A and B are shown apart, each in its own frame.
Chain A
């Protein structure tokens, strides 16, 4: 995806998909989290997902030092 356009390139040729998003991903993320909470389910994206990414961030800072 670049500049809001998703392009699929295969041996058969290129296919372009409309990239416009009607609903903001941030709005969707919040709504999805509240929906999960409301029905007693676990978070769709949780602190554990964040912790895994932040661990890689710390590795990157250490690597770049």
Chain B
């Protein structure tokens, strides 16, 4: 299809299991592209794409769109203005509708661990974890995590709670799920006057 159409730019989607191979094909053929997250079924696959993109100085964008949401933009403004003082913790919850939507969209593979690489953590986790990295501007490591399949009893998790800590000690909690269409994000710190502070 690429040879036939010769696009200037590619918007790349696909099953998670296929995404890294698609990305390598596009890189090998010299196409700039934007690919939906998670770009693979595990970290080594995505790291392989990132390494090749760096080596080729290629344009590989990812629409981690929550960065453009009003909360993120407001939080970045407040952080830049120093309004939080020492940042204490960040809480992100992204809870999307249940898994029945996937077969309805002809995407039942999203409930297959081999095809999807996991459930809501693999699919929604990039948004919440990227938000933590984006707002702190630091590297981080996971300090705890729990998964559950109790709500929908599918082969992949329908809820995940991840705790993490940044290099300087900012704590994060990222909850993702396929339970209810509710979304909440919180950043907390301390004002210069010493009082707790959060948007």
Contact = CB atoms under 8 A, between A and B. Distances in A.
Given A37-B32, A53-B133, A60-B145, A6 B71 contact: yes
Given A19-B70, A57-B38, A46 B60 contact: yes
B53 A47 contact: yes
Contact of B62 (A9, A21, A47, A64): A47
Main secondary structure of the interface of A (DSSP, over half): helix
Nearest to A3: B182
Interface string A21-65: 100111011101110110000111111111111111111110110
Interface string B174-191: 000000001111100001
Contacts of B116: none
B79 to A, nearest CB: 13
Interface residues of A, number: 45
A13 to B, nearest CB: 11
Given A9-B198, A60-B142, A60-B162, A45 B50 contact: no
- By size class, the interface of chain B is 35 or more
B161 to A, nearest CB: 9
B126 A54 contact: yes
A55 to B, nearest CB: 5
B171 interface: no
A32 B118 CA distance: 29
A6 B164 CA distance: 24
A37 B40 contact: no
Which of B54, B122, B145 gathers most chain A CB within 10 Å?
B145
B66 A25 contact: yes
Given A17-B74, A25-B65, 7 more contacts: A10-B195, A24-B65, A53-B37, A54-B37, A54-B46, A57-B129, A61-B147
Interface of A: 1-3, 6-11, 17, 19, 21, 24-26, 28-30, 32-34, 36-37, 42-61, 63-64
